[in-house]
Amino acid sequence: MTTLALNSLISLTLFIVIIVPAILVSNIVVPIMLFTKWDGKTTIFGNAKWGRANNHFAYATKGYWQEFNWLVLRNPVNNLVGRTLAVTRRAAHVIGNPNIGDKIAGGFYRVTMGKYWEYYWIKPYNLFGRRCIRVRIGWKIYNSDTPSAFVFAINPFKAYIGI
């Protein structure tokens, strides 16, 4: 089995065994916690930086639904992936084109940092507008000066505005 395949399997396993159950629990717990004085920054369900969203995004209506959208739909279990499963940043080795993204350009890169990895692939296509397949798994190592958060994101229909 190749390193890419093995690391992808490990990432998928972490996602299924840890992240998915935590997201399911958050769908029950967070809506209840939003009725309390919980600041939205603590627990694995919170967002340590933005809390209950404050004024980070300007929604037409503020309050419960904005906070629900931010903590349950947009950033579920943010502290779990960004703090609990995150790894300390140190020297990393990049292979491929690090200048890719859904707002920049398509391509692939692999980053290794000791026993941790990041794979990022953007494949643009034109079908019902400009779209791309976006795959990012492992830890957000590249372009991070904070602890590298765990990521498992696969989106075959991501809007693409890159070149």
Q: According to the model, what pLDDT value does residue 120 have? A: 94
Q: Among 16, 112, 47, which Cα is nearest to 120's?
A: 112
Q: What mean pLDDT do residues 155-162 have?
A: 90
Q: pLDDT by residue (tens digit) across 58-100?
A: 555 568 888 898 899 988 999 999 999 999 988 889 999 888 8
| Confidence (pTM) | 0.84
pLDDT: which is higher, 50 or 11 = 11
CA distance 79 to 90: 20
Rounded percentage of the chain residues whose pLDDT exceeds 70 = 93
Gap between the Cα atoms of 44 and 17, Å rounded: 15
Enumerate residues 6+ apart whose C-beta is below 8 A from 11.
137, 138, 152
What stretches of the chain adopt beta strand conformation (E)? 93-96, 107-113, 116-126, 130-139, 150-159
Mean pLDDT estimate for the chain? 89
Instruction: Delimit the domains of the chain by residue range.
Output: 3-84, 93-159
pLDDT 10s digits, 16-68: 999 999 999 999 999 999 999 998 999 999 999 888 876 555 555 568 888 89
pLDDT, position 12? 94
- Given this model, what pLDDT does residue 151 score? 94
